[in-house]
Amino acid sequence: MVTSAPFWKTKGLDEMSSAEWESLCDGCGRCCLHKLRDGDSEALSFTNVACHLLDPHSCRCGDYAHRKRRVPDCVSLTPEEVRRIDWLPPSCAYRRLAEGKDLAWWHPLVSGDPETVHLAGVSVRDRVVSERKAGPLEHHLADWPGRMPRPRRR
């Protein structure tokens, strides 16, 4: 019996179907956290403040289909955007594939279980505050969203 390689190992980001592209999102929610950029140095800082549309437990957008209308500065990732932007977390499947890396063991496409991203400690589950309750973003700076997480267990 011949088993074919998964699509993310045989296709480039530009070659994926819409369904394949969408399935790359592991549901960690890290990209939905607010970031701050220093106007002078261009230095990037991460916060633990989530977009008001992010469900802090499921780590999914509460209105994905209409997010651009409700949050005009929400970024719709494309292969070009993935290569251009510098704020995707190092654990992000889009970034990893763009950098020539494979998906991590906890990614739902690898594990077969959407809970592994949470069980491994990769997601923002119950670690964030909503932008509606946060106050000044400068009070919520955090390093962990921009670092590769150390998975809790395999």
90: closest CA among 134, 126, 144?
144
Assessment of whether the complete model's pTM goes beyond 0.75: yes
Structure token pair of residue 141? 């700076």
C-alpha neighbours within 13 Å on the C-beta side of residue 151: 13
- Rounded to an integer, the average pLDDT of 21-27 is 96
- Starting at the edge strand found earlier in the chain, the sheet holding 129-130 runs 33-37, 44-50, 129-130
CB atoms within 10 A of CB 110: 16
pLDDT digits (tens, 9 = 90+) for 28-58: 999 999 999 999 999 999 999 999 999 999 9
Q: Where are the domains of the chain?
A: 15-145
d(CA 73, CA 142): 21
Q: Tell me the average pLDDT of the chain.
A: 93
Q: Are the C-beta atoms of 148 and 57 separated by less than 8 Å?
A: no
Residues 6+ apart with CB under 8 A from 107: 26, 93, 116, 117
